[in-house]
Amino acid sequence: MQMTYKELKDEIAKIVPKAIDYSVDLEAGNIAIITTEMDEFGGRDGLIGKIAKRIKRKIVLRSPVDAIMDIDDAKEIIEKLIPEESEITEMYFDGCYREVIIQCKNPGTAVGRRGENTRKVRDETGWSVKVERTPPLFSKTVHDIRGYRQEKAEERRKLLKDFGLNIHRPTRPGATWARVTALGSYREVGRACHFVTTNESRVMIDVGVNIASDTDPMPYFTAPEALPLEKLDAVVLTHSHLDHAGMLPVLFKYGYRGPVYCTPPTRDLMLLLQTDYLKVGGAEGKRSPYDMEDIRMCMKHVVDVDWGETTDIAPDVKLTFSNAGHILGSSAVHLNIADGKHNIVFSGDQKYEKSWLFDAANTRFPRVETLVIESTYGASGDYQPSRQEANQELQDIVSRTLQRGGKIICPVFAVGRSQEVMIAIDELFRSGTVKPVPVWLDGMIQEATAIHASHPKYLTNALSKSLLKDDGENPFTSEWFRPVKGRELRESIVMDPSPCIVLATSGMLNGGPVMEYFKNWAHEERNSLCFVGYQAEGTLGRRLQKGFGEVPMMINGKTEIVKIGCEMVTIDGFSGHSDRRQLLDFVDQLNPKPRNIICHHGDYQKCNELGHTLRERYRCRTYAPKNLETVRLL
């Protein structure tokens, strides 16, 4: 049963000796012990452990706000106490958590024997210390977010307290019930949005945009159960792609002021993609549903949750994220409702196969009564080649095109597919299989890659190690990868007759810098167009896959017909989505099996076929609801 704030403080007071000076605060689902006597809590007596065991919550230790040193003075102390050979490159202060992140080239030296250096910093400055290895690529996004968080530290501290008070409010009387309502991505791909309601709480999972529709891009925010938006308890994001997080700022535009729970990489990539969505829309003269101020408001309300960390998000709902294998930071969302009366897992977009970047999606959950699963490739014929086959196909098209002196245009999504293809190309060139040529990265690819490098623990062990070593093995910093900075360089690449590879956004040929290369090179037989990601219905990419020999395009303000003469291939094996076989294998590995399975994120036929097979195989109830339909869970 959830405790109120007062009950929590009373329970903690029973454990902490009266001689110790401390206070209790809330940081969303975490309990903060505010004290200058930190060693009393973490030392021999193990007070933190006793408190956590009694109240079953995550406990964090914080210095009082008035006990932390001014940032400039703290920097001086840190530079004195941390050995020079640590090679500090950056310090990020976060007054909300009274924590400083020290980035350096030699973290072990910075921490010191048994943490003596960082402990000294904490004792002398009041700031808790986190030491990180300096990433091999600098990310402006990560840098800006950390700066913004410090700037808004006091405001964020108050917000976290408000979120905590809402979680620890007195519970309502009456029977327990729970249901999920489809507000987007049901019998369609795009604008993912699920709405979980219980007798206590209202939680929205994902807030996506329908990229392929200018007329109806939003989820069903106006459904009566979703209104008023300010009464929502929490928003949870599975990952950062626009079809799952692109409409989040709209909630803030229309009054939502609650928490947004996501992994740190999702937070960083979301900012990058939402900002680009505004930029691309503006360049095309489209009226945007939100502006930069709404995006900044989102950032202030984000509560980071790492994989495997359980946190309360409402009086009767606990959240745990785990790896979904789709893109950086992508997660399955496990919700424990009413002290375990019902457990629901939203698989998110997922990949149940190990890739260059990520381990296969997690299948180990304590309990799952209801599974909400994507069905993008859920129909009986939806089988994809393996990653090995995809690598071979990429090698073949690269070899063929370069032998005939051609250029390869690869429309990619900045996040996920770009980095996967970069690693595959890097392997081709390093192994000597293909003679290296320049690989131009246009759009947000370089910045998205830098964000990957900033979160190594969300990548496979092998890739994480290669990023952290300073031995030239890092695939993301290889000499053949060259960012396209500005229009002038893009124009000179377009005019240069020599062979090259271009990875450019957007991945569905519905805008972005890739259009410049496409309109200039698509007519030439020696060139190639290589699709490595999903092409949604209604996009130029899908029309080309269907075999259109010519397409209309706006060139210099006039509509012109571009003839398609280049070789065109689709490599399905790089997909970040599970195919039918992997979806079935994923469910097969769940133990115990869910009683209910809800299929979404696919057209009606795919949702229905997948549901039918799962129902026959596991004797469970399956649903393929339409948008706006509700399924009762409890």
For 170-192, how does the pLDDT look when each residue is reduced to its tens digit (9 = 90+)? 988 889 999 999 999 999 988 99
Task: Tell me which of 454 and 171 has the higher pLDDT.
Answer: 454
- Asked if the model's pLDDT at residue 95 lies above 70, the reply is yes
pLDDT band, residue 39 (cuts 50/70/90): confident
- Asked if the model's pLDDT at residue 45 lies above 90, the reply is no
User: What is the average per-residue pLDDT within 304-320?
Assistant: 97
Share of the chain above pLDDT 70, in %: 98
What is the predicted pLDDT for the residue at 217?
A: 84
**549 close to 559: Cβ distance less than 8 angstroms:** no
Give the helix ranges, DSSP H, for 82-173.
Answer: 107-111, 116-125, 140-151, 153-167
- Across-strand partners of 611? none
User: What is the average per-residue pLDDT within 457-482?
Assistant: 88
- Asked if the model's pLDDT at residue 541 lies above 90, the reply is no
- Asked if the model's pLDDT at residue 55 lies above 70, the reply is yes
pLDDT band, residue 556 (cuts 50/70/90): low
- Asked if the model's pLDDT at residue 213 lies above 80, the reply is no
- Asked if the model's pLDDT at residue 468 lies above 90, the reply is no
- Asked if the model's pLDDT at residue 360 lies above 80, the reply is yes
User: What is the average per-residue pLDDT within 372-390?
Assistant: 92
CA 528 from centre of chain: 31
Domains of the chain: 5-65 (3.30.300.230), 67-134 (3.30.300.20), 171-381+577-632 (3.60.15.10), 387-574 (3.40.50.10890)
Give the helix ranges, DSSP H, for 344-386.
Answer: none
- What Cα–Cα distance (Å) separates residue 433 from each residue in 395, 396, 408, 426? 8, 10, 17, 11
- Asked if the model's pLDDT at residue 44 lies above 60, the reply is no
Nearest to 160 by CA among 33, 6, 25: 25
- Listed in sequence order, the residues at least 6 apart from 492 whose beta carbon sits closer than 8 Å to its beta carbon are none
Taking the whole predicted model, whether its pTM rises above 0.85 is answered as yes
- The span from the CA of 22 to the CA of 216, in Å, is 53
- The span from the CA of 391 to the CA of 420, in Å, is 10
Task: Tell me which of 2 and 502 has the higher pLDDT.
Answer: 502
3-state SS assignment for residue 555 = strand
**430 close to 474: Cβ distance less than 8 angstroms:** no
pLDDT band, residue 43 (cuts 50/70/90): low
